[in-house]
Structures are given as C-alpha cells and as structure tokens.
Chains A and B, each alone.
Chain A
Amino acid sequence: MHHKTITELSQDLHHKNISSLELTTLFLERIKKYNVKLNAFITITEEEALKAAKIADEHHAAGTAGPLTGIPLAHKDIFCTDQIKTTCGSKMLDNFIAPYDATLVEQMKQAGMILLGKTNMDEFAMGSSNENSFYGPVKNPWHTDYVTGGSSGGSAAAVAARLIPAATGTDTGGSIRQPAALCGITGLKPTYGRISRYGIIAFASSLDQAGPFAKTAEDIAHLLNVMARFDERDSSCVDAPVPDYTTTLNNPIQNMRIGLPKEYFSEGINQDVAKAIEDAIKVYEKLGATMHEISLPHTHLAVPAYYVIAPAECSSNLARYDGVRYGYRCPHPKDLEDLYKRSRSESFGAEVKRRIMIGTYALSAGYYDAYYLKAQKIRRLICNDFTEAFKKVDVILSPTSPTIAFKVGEKSSDPISMYLSDIYTIAVNLAGLPGISVPARFSKLPIGMQLIGNLFEEAKLLNVAHWYQKETDWHKHIPEGF
C-alpha cells in the first residue's frame, strides 16, 4: 500500500478499498519504525492526524471528498503550523509553537490532506546536505552513510523511504530539486509567486518558493492543483490563473523544443550524471521532441550572485530572532546587548552565522554597491539569459546536481564545494522560474535530471516530466528495506 502513488491512493479511498484512518495509521507506523534510522521527522503529529483522518473518512462516506481528501502529508518544518512546534531546524525555535497556520498549510488542510508530521531540514533552510540541522543530519534511504541533500532533506527522505506519499518543501537555491534528485524522487519548485509564502519562515524572501515532493510528476500535478493559489497576504504572490495541472499531463510532446545549455555540460560534471542526461535526450527524441543547444552565458556568475543576495536577505530576515519575544533566550542576560549576543550566538548554527555575517557585510555602508547592487545586476543578466533562451525552446534540460549524494561529513568543512553543488539549481531561483527534478538512472545512488520552464509554465514542465516517467521506471525504484 505504501508504494502506491497519490493517484492510486486517491482511487482506493474513493472506492473505499481503504479508509483514511487505516492509511494514516499505516504511515504513522512506518514513520515511527524508520525515523530512528533516517531522522527525517522532527515532530510527529499522531493525535491530530488520527482526528483529521476520521473527519476525512466522514467526507468520503458523505461523498464530499476531494481528490486529496484523506491522503497523508508531511510539511517541512519551515511552515508555520498552528499550535504545533515549528522549529525551522534551529535551536533558536526549538521551543516555538506557531500561533497560526501558513497559507499553504491551510490550503492542504482544506483539501482534506492529513498532516502526519514536520520534517527535518537544514537550519533556516541554509544548506545542501541537511547536515546543518539542530536535530542532526537526515540519512539517505538509499544508503544511510550518505546525505539526502538539502535543505528539504527530511521531506525528500520521507517520500523516498515511503514513509509518506507526499511532502512539502521550500526551494531557495535548489532545496527541493537537489534533495529530490539525491533521494530518487520527484520535486517541483514552482514559479516565484505561484504559491503563497505567508507563514513560511523566511530565509531569502526574493528567492524562497514552496513546492511539493512526490513519487511522480502526476502526483505533483495533483498537489500543485491545491497549492497554486493567489494569496492577498503575500504581496509577491501573483494572481495568475491556475490551470488543472492533471489535464495536460498526457498532451503530446511531439516537436516540443528542448534546450540544452552548453555551459551546463562543460567541466566538473560527473560521468554517470552526464550519461543520465544523454539517455534522457534519447527518450525525448524518440517521443518526437527536438533538441537545441542554447547558451546561458552568465551561468558562472549565478553562484557568486546568489551567495550575496541570499545572505543579505537572510541577515535581515533573521534579525527578529533576538530573544525578546519568542524563541531561545540566553539564561541570565547582563543587559540588552548581552541578551542579543548570547541568545543569537548560543542558538544559531555555524552555517547560519556564516551567512548572517556575509549578508551583513554585503549590505554595509561602503560595500553595498560593490556587492549587493552588483549581485542584483547579475541577477538581471541571468534573467535575460533565460528570457532569450525561452524564445528558442519550450523547456530546458539539465542535471539537477553535478554529482550524486556524498557521504555525511564529506563536505561539511568545505562550504565552497558545498555551495557549488547547487550550480544547476541556483540560476532558476534567481530568475524566478519553475524547475522540476525527476529520477533519471542510478549510479549506486539516484541521479536527478532537471527540467526548467518559462514563468508560470508548470503545466508544460509536468507534461514533459510525465512523458519521461511513462517511458522509464527510474521513479519506481525503491530503496532497499523500505
């Protein structure tokens, strides 16, 4: 049962082959059994889940159930959940019970999905390996010596290990797509502004975007149908029409123009990863799509620009954690300054401190023009690169990550090499574009391929990804023991 897709589970629930309560109990049992090994969950919301499942079953009995009613779900612990601990992977918020639901949490509740728990993550979503969590690293279900990627590692691992059929994440520089790739599942980062940010604990506001994890593109389409919605509480949310993403999944992709950025296939790319992309090209050519070499000339500037903009915004976004109103407060502060300094230095981890310092520096008087302003100009150039590219092609194909998962501890002392593992995902955030990662081959561990679409063209991305999954079965591989 736990191997089934959302689409299949929805059928089962509607045909009363299984009740939501049974399904919820089944997944709760799996979480309790395997979380010790994977450390994917920070909080398990068993009591609330069982209550919600009973209500979902009533809806099924009354015939008022929607397609997702009664299906279990996990939220990354970055989404505020009313009266439920919301830690953001940080000691700072270890004691924080959110007083309200994030808009997305509300939406999933309204759709009848059952929240089973909150998943582990890099502290304040800063990281590419999930080693930066106050709650310890998440282990990759394919091999527990290896990282899951990050920052949404808990959600990715939980879906990969079939502890949950669907989970949410956020993606600021690749935090959905990269762990999806490293864990062998499907993950979508929608267009910036497609999903409300209200109630998502901010890391870098101009880049943060929520999105779903699931086994297949089809499942992602179901989830996106509920998640994509305008929210007047988020000024950056866009009031664009929301199509039914499930209806275009099987549209023919004959003559679909697929772009291959030459800058993405130069040095540093792992041979197996390159092979995965070559194979995917063959699949698409067989389906009648056409391949086009394109150029994204400012690719090499994406990582440096990102590591100015994201830290700058984070340095300001994290200023509210000052020990005054909520969160960690140091014991016996001498005075106000001592309260600030110790509350923050005793509860933020090394990576968070590093980024706050970088960002504070980049925004300082005398450095602003050289760093922040210049980075914003680069961001504009990167956007222009994509605008040009999408005049020639419908979607862009690339690896999600230059390598497969690395071992826990392998890169944690080398932040630069860690930052470079986001090289294919970061530009997409800077440009605000949608991107999806789908499983494509294995090299002992999973490899992900990324499809990038133009603004608000999630339907096209899902359509292209779905055809790949109709032709291949990489997404059906299950890690051993799960």
Chain B
Amino acid sequence: MEWETVIGLEVHAQLKTKSKIFSGASTQFGAAPNTQACAIDLGMPGVLPVLNKEAVHMAIKFALGTQSEVAHRSVFARKNYFYPDLPKGYQISQYELPVVKNGYIDVLFENGESKRIRITRAHLEEDAGKSLHEDFHGLTGIDLNRAGTPLLEIVSEPDMRSAKEAVLYLKALHTLVRYLDICDGNMQEGSFRCDANVSVRPKGESKFGTRTELKNINSFRFVERAINYEVERQIQTLESGGKILQETRLYDPNKNETRAMRSKEEANDYRYFPDPDLLPLVITDDLIEKIKSDLPELPQQKRERFISQYGLTSYDAVILSSSKEMADYYERAVLASSHPKLTANWITSELLGALNKADLEINESPIQADQIGGLVARIADNTISGKIAKTIFEALWQKEGEVDEIIENRGLKQVTDTAAIEKMIDEIIAANPSQVAEYRAGKEKLFGFFIGQAMKASGGKVNPQQLNELLKKKLMG
C-alpha cells in the first residue's frame, strides 16, 4: 500500500525580551542556578503576574510576518499540573483565545516551487524551570532561572507531507523569527524548540490517521531523522496489522529511534481556565499599525526583491536571504562589486563552502563583504582571471591584506596587453616547431597544449579570451 505522511509542528520560540513575561527578573541565559528568579518566578505566596508589553509587541510582529490575524482581545489561561520545576502549580498560557491566529508561511523548494504551510495559532506563555537529574546523586535539582521566560508557541496546521517539508517549514520559521528580531533562534540553548505531530494514512484517504507527538527534536537534523523513523515505524505497525496509539514519544538521537513516553489516557487534565490575575489582553489597531511601520524587510520580500532587483535564481535568492546577516553581507558585497550575479556565485559556492568547512557563520567570516565584492569587481574588469581569483580568495582568507594589495604584491595582474601576448605566443611557436606543424596538419587537439604553454609562461595571468583569439590567429599562420 502507498502511504501518505501528515505532519504538524508545534514550535516554542523564546522571545528576546530583557525581562521575563510576568516579572522583572532577567532572562539572560547561563547564570548560576536560581539567581535569576524573583519572588514572582518562585511562586511565592501572594505574588501576582504583570504582563511584559515587549512580549506582546513581539507576538504582534510575528503575526505581521506570517499574515496572521492579531486578536484584539485574547485571554491568559492557567494550565494546571504539578511538577517541581513549575513553581505555581500552573503555567500561564493562552488557551481558547490566543493572541495570533490564522496565518501562513510559504516555503520554497530547491526546484523553485513553493508550498503554503498554514499557521493555526501562536500564543504567549511562560516557560517552566529546569529539572536537573545529573550531579545530584539520585536527587533532582531545580533551576528556576528559566521559569517565566516568555515563549511564543507556534502551532501549524497538519500541512506537511514529508520530513523534508517539515524541515523547510521549520527553517523558514527560524529565519523569520530572527529577521523579526524576536528570538535568537539558538537551538542548543533551547531558544527555539520543536515538537512534531506525525501520522500516516493510505494515499487518497481523507481522514487523518492516529497521530503521535514527538518530543526532544531540537535540531533540524533530528527533526528530519525522528520523523522519518516515526513514519517508518507507523507504516510497519499498520502493515503488520497493528494499531497506532495516540501518545507522546521521545526521540533518542543516539539510537535514532522514538520511544513511548506517555499515552493519551495518562495525559493530564490541565483544567484550563482564564487567569483571574490578568486582565484580557486588548490590542488596538493603532499599536498594530505602529509595529507594522517599524517592521524590517522579511525573508520572503527580500527573496523576491533579490530575484527582481539582482536577477538571481530563486535558489540563490533563498540561500542569500536565509538570514538577515547573510542578506546584509551579500548586499554589502554587491555594493563593492556592482555585479550582483557574479557576487552571488562567489558567495554561494566559494565563500559558503569555505565557511562550512571551517564551521563558521557568515558573521564570523574572515573575508569581509567589501573584500569579496572587490574581488568580484577585479574579475569583472578583467584585472584578474577567475582562476587567479581563487588564489586571491585564499590569501584574503588568510588575512594577507586587501584585494588590490595582494594582486600587486604577488604580481597577479592579468596580462591583457595584445602586443605582450603576441610576443609570448611567437616565442612559444618558435620553441615548438614540430607541434606547430602537427597542429597545422589538422591535429587540433594540440590547441590545449599551446594554451598550457602560455599559461605556464605567464604564470596563469594571461587573459584567457585574448589568449584564445590571438593563439588561434597565430597558429593559422
């Protein structure tokens, strides 16, 4: 039987506010345990939450970036359950009335086709603390620094049909929240976390199959691998006559498998109800308009502009708009080169290849944007050949200096003087009479031999087009 995969993602994006969502404590990552938890975060008797407006502004930004509706009135609700790292015994979240709903993101495939993934809702909530099970000799340590950190939980429709699509969507979301400057996107530190709801159904079936929820898939690679494993598991189970149980499953990246965590029956009854300590969140059109006017150019707009303004392929446009840093780097390089397409080629192939190999981000590149732009400019104005450019690229990477300096110091300037080239060709012809004779007798393959000789003699600096033309002419006799 042919099966179809159905995936929906729930993403928790930690918002980049300075203080927590309901208290004034700092949200800085990495402080000593329990040093960034005030009386409110500790759930002391008598304390009350006060909503951080900055978190609301960030949720509105997200709505504007995903063509979503901003709810003019949304409600904070309490999600009640007991856990040691949940100080109040409930999490303040949004339930029936979220602040953001009904949006979408268009993801782009490598072949240039796109697909719309709908966003059901996004709501504001507070994060819990952390339970630390290591280093406590059979006991559990509680660190409440993270308790009360603002989260935006972004829930998609079950619109994705493969692990690959899920990763594309997740990457698009990741790019977007960083463009909007509402989340640092650091997956290692848990600032951007993902759960996946996965089910399969026979191709053509309109009803969804029973889904499982996958947890602990906090890298793009794990998302893809965990979903693929889970899809395979579900298909095998169904094909061998079994049933899929609605349950939460934990992904183990070491073994590359998912394991049952808790079933639907064991799931908590969270007894959601509106939090009486917080008024309904009212957002005016004025505020939305104000935030809209301050919105930066977003990935999709940037992508489209790169295609129309610079004539890039959609593939290059996706890569070069994949982060704000990348896009800014590219545009600074273009400013220096005035050749957008050639610049795009050099960045996507040479530079990104080298960065990848060195495990560096674009903002850590040893070569500055104006340097790569300058290099491209020298190729474009025939000062150097593409081949020499690679040598200079190496030198730039080693921080040997600026492009023109390197050309000058190493004598890499391309030879474009016709007389000089002709003189060199004459010498080669004179030095290789038998090859010249063979060529003239019809052995045209030998043309490459003469090119090689010329390149050798010039140290690779001779302009290839000119050499070609002049050599042909001279060999004709």
Residues of A within 8 A of B (CB): 79-80, 86, 88, 93, 96, 98-100, 102, 197-202, 204-206, 232-236, 312-313, 315-316, 318-320, 322, 324-326, 336, 340, 360, 363-365, 368, 372
Number of A-B contacts (CB under 8 A): 93
Q: Considering the complex, give the chain B residue whose CB is closest to the CB of A339.
A: B84
Whether the Cβ atoms of A235 and B46 lie closer than 8 Å is no
Cα distance A197–B278 when bound, in Å?
Answer: 12
Contacts of A198 in B (CB 8 A): 46-48
Whether the Cβ atoms of A363 and B276 lie closer than 8 Å is no
Known: A312-B273, A322-B82, A363-B273. Is A235-B278 also a contact (CB below 8 A)? yes
Contacts of A325 in B (CB 8 A): 42-43, 87
B:41-74 near A, CB below 8 Å? 42-51
A93, A233, A234, most chain B CB atoms within 10 A:
A233
Contacts of B50 in A (CB 8 A): 232-235
Query: How would residues 248 to 287 of chain B score, 1 for a CB under 8 Å from any chain A CB and 0 otherwise?
Result: 0000000000000000000001011100111100000000
Known: A236-B279, A324-B142. Is A316-B273 also a contact (CB below 8 A)? yes
Contacts of B271 in A (CB 8 A): 315-316, 360, 363-365, 368
Instruction: Give chain A nearest CB distance to B266 CB in angstroms.
Output: 13
Contacts of B46 in A (CB 8 A): 79-80, 98, 102, 198-202
Which 9 A-B residue pairs are closest in the complex by CB-CB distance? Answer: A319-B89, A206-B276, A363-B271, A205-B276, A199-B46, A201-B45, A320-B43, A80-B46, A365-B269
Whether the Cβ atoms of B80 and A235 lie closer than 8 Å is no
Say yes or no: is B90 at the interface (Cβ < 8 Å to chain A).
Answer: yes
Known: A316-B90, A364-B269. Is A199-B47 also a contact (CB below 8 A)? yes
Q: Count residues on chain B whose CB falls below 8 Å from chain A CBs.
A: 28
Say yes or no: is B78 at the interface (Cβ < 8 Å to chain A).
Answer: yes
Query: How would residues 149 to 170 of chain B score, 1 for a CB under 8 Å from any chain A CB and 0 otherwise?
Result: 0000000000000000000000
Whether the Cβ atoms of B78 and A99 lie closer than 8 Å is no
Contacts of A324 in B (CB 8 A): 84, 87, 142
Contacts of B51 in A (CB 8 A): 235
Instruction: Give chain B nearest CB distance to A334 CB in angstroms.
Output: 13
Residues of B within 8 A of A (CB): 39, 42-51, 78, 80, 82, 84, 87-90, 142, 269, 271-273, 276-279
Contacts of A232 in B (CB 8 A): 50
Cα distance A199–B271 when bound, in Å?
Answer: 25
Instruction: Give chain B nearest CB distance to A92 CB in angstroms.
Output: 9
Cα distance A156–B142 when bound, in Å?
Answer: 42
Q: Considering the complex, give the chain A residue whose CB is closest to the CB of B85.
A: A324
Contacts of B47 in A (CB 8 A): 198-199
Cα distance A336–B131 when bound, in Å?
Answer: 13
Cα distance A315–B273 when bound, in Å?
Answer: 11
Cα distance A326–B269 when bound, in Å?
Answer: 26
Contacts of B89 in A (CB 8 A): 316, 318-320, 322
A100, A232, A235, most chain B CB atoms within 10 A:
A235
Apart from the given pairs A320-B88, A322-B84, 20 other A-B contacts in the complex at a CB distance below 8 Å: A98-B44, A100-B44, A102-B46, A197-B48, A198-B46, A198-B48, A199-B47, A202-B277, A204-B276, A205-B277, A233-B50, A234-B50, A235-B48, A313-B276, A316-B271, A325-B43, A325-B87, A326-B44, A340-B82, A363-B271
Cα distance A340–B44 when bound, in Å?
Answer: 17
